[in-house]
Structure 1
Amino acid sequence: MISESVIAAYLAASLALGAAFKSKADTIQGFLVANREIGNWLLAFTFGATYFSSVVIVVGGAWAYMWGQASLIIPVFNVVLGALATFILFGQRINQLSKIHDALTVPELFGKIYSSRGLQRLLGLMTAIGLTLYAATVISGAAAMVGTVFHIDLALAAFIIAALMAIYVALGGMYSVVWTDTLQGLMMASGVAALLAISLGRVGGMTALEAAKPALPPERINMRLIFDLALLTSVAVWGLPQLVNRFYTARGPGVVRRATGIATLFAFIVTYSSFLSGLAAAELLRSNPPADPLKAIPTLASMVLGPIGAAVFSGAVLAAAMSTADSIALTTGSAVVYDVLGIRSTRALRAASFLAMIAAAVIAVATLSLPKELAHAVTTIFKTGWTLTAGAFLAPVVATVLGARSREAVVASAVAGASTALAYGVAKAARVVLPLADMSFAITVLVSFTVYAVAYLATRRR
């Protein structure tokens, strides 16, 4: 009953925030970039909450549970490269470029910098495809949490969650996303921090964690895979449209600069709390390990938090999933309507954002109904959406911000990066082993940047 009350109150608050900002989102600029009036605290929280989904809490904790101390390279990369470096290297410049070119979306920024409507359409299409795939996995995770708490069918839970997010995003656009992200970020940080604090008390403090033995034997710990995951969950952020466009909303570069420390601290709390809780789970659950490592963190929460604490933690996990999914809905909707179709209408943007979330739910539900093996293969391809989007945008964003600009290089590297990511995803789903499959993201980045460099040098020689 406590869990139901906590989650119901949180969902009601999200809808209320959406309704509260409807009038401010009646213009295109209000809907897509919150009229560029977001301050430092809101910017830091909306960035952090969008960055870290429930994956970092549940899956990140499972990685630490399985791999032990070796997994801690991942939160180091998340904090230093995913948060701190993103704000310092890219945040202020992206904010300036978006204002100079009066761009409201990431594809539009490229379209205006390179004077190419076709480039805007291409990147908008890649955004829509990659993020819709990823959204389906996020919806599945949120549905599992809501379905478990309220004892309802997963398909029904998926549609409830999708509909609620679709409504508040459609009502308030970026305003709703920013403010609900802040609420969600507070729940995430407090939930995982509480879990870690109490778990440390049970296990005997940080000293005990230093000696924690991973659930897997040393010979099964793949350091190349861990390094690739560290890159995927940090460097990928530099090219993800739903995170890059957060800097569009800031009032100015000064806001981005002041938000840097807050965002970095948020990343530190969420990632380290999640991974260190995974180490604690390896110690506390040693005598009765869960059958599935993904259940390590939920099992730990049930063990150490009690009914009220477990309710808050379940709300934190749901908030983490929703804070990512709502941003994806807004970004996907704008990619289709604004970037690909060229429609400049808030009514169309509201409808597209709503439908993007419902479409993700339909895909998630359809996947849940498949036979187990086929569902696993399809879900693997969906997870490729994050890598595909980052692979398409990473090299173009970095090169453009640094001043190495070439329209041909942007197109070539975007296609090469997305194609490489998709090839690895499909191969994994089909259980075909490609070379260096455990470093698929690193290979995707290498291919994308190499193609960009070759195409850029070729255009310079003309």
Structure 2
Amino acid sequence: MNYSLLIAIFAIYFIMVILIGYLAYKRTNSSEDFLIAGRDTNSYIMALSYGATFISTAAIVGFGGIAGKYGMGILWLAWLNVIVGIFIAFAFLGKRTRRIGHNLGSVTFPEFLGRRFNSRFIQVASGLIIFCGMPLYAAVVLIGAARFMETSLALNFSLSLLILSLIIAVYVFYGGIKGVMYTDALQGTIMFVSMAILLVFVYAKLGGVSHANMALSNMVHLYPAAAAADGGTGWTSFPTLSSPYWWNLVTTTILGVGIGALAQPSLAVRFMTVKSDKELNRSILIGGVFIALIPTTAYIVGSLSNVFFFDNFGKIAVNMVAGNIDKIIPTFISMAMPEWFVYLFLLTLIAASMSTLSGQYHTQGTALGHDIIETLHKRKLSDNLSTTFSKIGILVAIVLSLIIGLSLPGSIVALGTSLFFGVCAASFLPAYLAACYWKRATREGAIASILAGVFSSLFWLIFVFGKTATSLGICKFLTGYPMLISTMPWPYVDTMIIALPISIIFLVVVSLLTKPLDEKYLTNSFRGFNKKKVKEES
């Protein structure tokens, strides 16, 4: 191991992070700066911050590992991320979120929903959902980077988790959302360059695009028996329709993450940090290219690692890592790539985890400090006190994610990510869409939708969804059965497929049965939406 090179690379990186974090700290002069970056972020920083927060080690390590075991069918997720997570999110939700948020003075996602529906309960409840649910996602992101540190640097896994947590804590704690977004832009640039190099290197090493893909197709007879039993048909083909893996891939991975991205609080709040619709328009291309390249590269490399491992060691990827698919990408990089790139890729994964985690910790901290404590206080707190409560929330969130990360089993990164995205979609997406587009939606309808989404998601995860129901053991303890429904396909159907329609139904039915919001209040919320004025302001 070349310690001099490793130290030099990371010294330069951390010096840059510290300098950027210090710059953000000096420019954070109010609670609005800490919470929403003063609403003057430019398009490049916003796009890369959004993309780097969206694409974490879960996408690179977790879903790359899924591709290593099951194949390239997961590439559909990359395209859905571009279409839904970037184009639809920015063009159809971003502009309205920015404008309505500005009209109502919202600085967090729960506050956006709460003020749009004139409900303190919605703000507090949304804050609680975020603060209680997001540590699972943060934990699996931590695990993704820590696994690579464990594999490439021979560091203890628990020590790796602790180091990452401490580094991220410093600049999120002091720099707020400005520190998060400024460092995200740096980390996003590192991620983009590194993944572009990786894609070129892998295909060059395996004899070119056609040769590498053909070699993988010809290895179908080596396809893992466990993957085939789940319905997989090969690394370059889609799984059998309605098989267990088909249901997991389509409902949990592709739809759960692809659609769930629209309702991610740490992503939605970034729309409120820009100063105009022009900045959002400019961000679409930057964010689209970023999102297209990074997960696509991870999924291709994960699948093609089977060719490299078999040619050099006579084993396929899943056998090289003793079944822990979270180690496929780290092991491949460590064995197949030049030493300097191993260090660069380690930096990439740390950047990916830090960018996502910083956004998550900031979102959790503001959920506790601003959306729960300050809202329950019923009086606006001073900037210093509001920021202090948010910082306390950040520290609590970091400790929680560290504890969860130490207790989770292997091969959990992709599943944990998918489940959190799905629960967010069921809980927030109907109310969020209604807040932006449906004036007839009522306070009671939004509350019913959020609660229905949360409780139906929890019910499905505890009593029906196979992987979580059997792991938690609550259903077994209460009923004597590992899950309430064991017949196909229900144990493999993601919670979002069930809970999201329920949440939508509650929103529509309850809204139509209850009194609409005051017209003057709605007029203020949608102020500036006539076409002429929007064009002038843009």
Same fold (TM over 0.5): yes
Deviation at 1:270, TM superposition (A): 0.8
Q: Identify which range, 149-158 or 106-115, moves more after superposition.
A: 149-158
5+ long unaligned stretches in structure 1: none
Matches of 1:315 and 1:73, distance apart in 2 = 27
Matches of 1:111 and 1:450, distance apart in 2 = 20
Cα distance change, pair 224–179 in 1 and its aligned pair in 2 (3 A) = same
Which residue number in structure 1 is paired with residue 165 of structure 2? 162
Which residue number in structure 1 is paired with residue 424 of structure 2? 389
Deviation at 1:253, TM superposition (A): 0.9
Which residue number in structure 1 is paired with residue 328 of structure 2? 296
Cα distance change, pair 283–253 in 1 and its aligned pair in 2 (3 A) = same
CA contact (8 A) 1:338 1:344 kept: no
Larger radius of gyration: 2
Deviation at 1:444, TM superposition (A): 2.6
Q: Please state if 1:413 is matched with 2:446.
A: no
Cα distance change, pair 368–88 in 1 and its aligned pair in 2 (3 A) = closer
Which residue number in structure 2 is paired with residue 362 of structure 1? 399
Q: Please state if 1:225 is matched with 2:248.
A: yes
In the TM superposition, what whole-angstrom CA distance separates every residue of 1:399-449 from its partner, at most 9, and x where no partner exists? 221224221121111112122333343443341345523221222322222
In the TM superposition, what whole-angstrom CA distance separates every residue of 1:76-130 from its partner, at most 9, and x where no partner exists? 2111112222111111111111111111111111222222222211111112112
Amino acid in the other structure paired with 1:396: A
Deviation at 1:461, TM superposition (A): 9.8
Which residue number in structure 1 is paired with residue 260 of structure 2? 236
Amino acid in the other structure paired with 1:420: S
Aligned pairs for 1:11-410 (under 5 A) are 11-147=14-150, 151-211=154-214, 212-213=216-217, 215-216=223-224, 218-220=228-230, 221=232, 222-228=245-251, 229-286=253-310, 287-289=314-316, 290=320, 291=322, 292-342=324-374, 344-348=381-385, 350-367=387-404, 384-404=419-439, 405-410=441-446
Amino acid in the other structure paired with 1:114: F
Deviation at 1:135, TM superposition (A): 1.8
Amino acid in the other structure paired with 1:39: N
Q: Identify which range, 139-148 or 32-41, moves more after superposition.
A: 139-148
Q: Specify which of 493, 501, 515 is matched with residue 439 of structure 1.
A: 493
In the TM superposition, what whole-angstrom CA distance separates every residue of 1:216-251 from its partner, at most 9, and x where no partner exists? 454532222111211122211111110000000011
Cα distance change, pair 419–381 in 1 and its aligned pair in 2 (3 A) = farther
CA contact (8 A) 2:334 2:342 kept: yes
Matches of 1:271 and 1:382, distance apart in 2 = 14
CA contact (8 A) 2:147 2:326 kept: no
CA contact (8 A) 1:169 1:353 kept: no
CA contact (8 A) 1:142 1:318 kept: yes
In the TM superposition, what whole-angstrom CA distance separates every residue of 1:8-32 from its partner, at most 9, and x where no partner exists? 4323422321111112212011111
- Equivalent pairs counted in the alignment come to 460
Secondary structure of the equivalent of 2:62?
helix
In the TM superposition, what whole-angstrom CA distance separates every residue of 1:171-191 from its partner, at most 9, and x where no partner exists? 111111111111111121222
Q: Identify which range, 279-288 or 243-252, moves more after superposition.
A: 279-288
CA contact (8 A) 2:213 2:304 kept: no
Q: Specify which of 429, 438, 442 is matched with residue 468 of structure 2.
A: 429
Cα distance change, pair 113–388 in 1 and its aligned pair in 2 (3 A) = same
Calculate the aligned-residue CA RMSD, in Å. Answer: 2.7
Q: Identify which range, 53-62 or 341-350, moves more after superposition.
A: 341-350
Secondary structure of the equivalent of 2:451?
helix
The TM-score with structure 2 as length reference comes to: 0.79
Deviation at 1:450, TM superposition (A): 2.4
Matches of 1:320 and 1:401, distance apart in 2 = 30
CA contact (8 A) 2:369 2:391 kept: no
CA contact (8 A) 1:409 1:453 kept: yes
Q: Identify which range, 229-238 or 241-250, moves more after superposition.
A: 229-238
Amino acid in the other structure paired with 1:284: F
Identity of aligned residues (%): 25
Amino acid in the other structure paired with 1:299: T
Deviation at 1:150, TM superposition (A): 5.3
Matches of 2:385 and 2:492, distance apart in 1 = 41
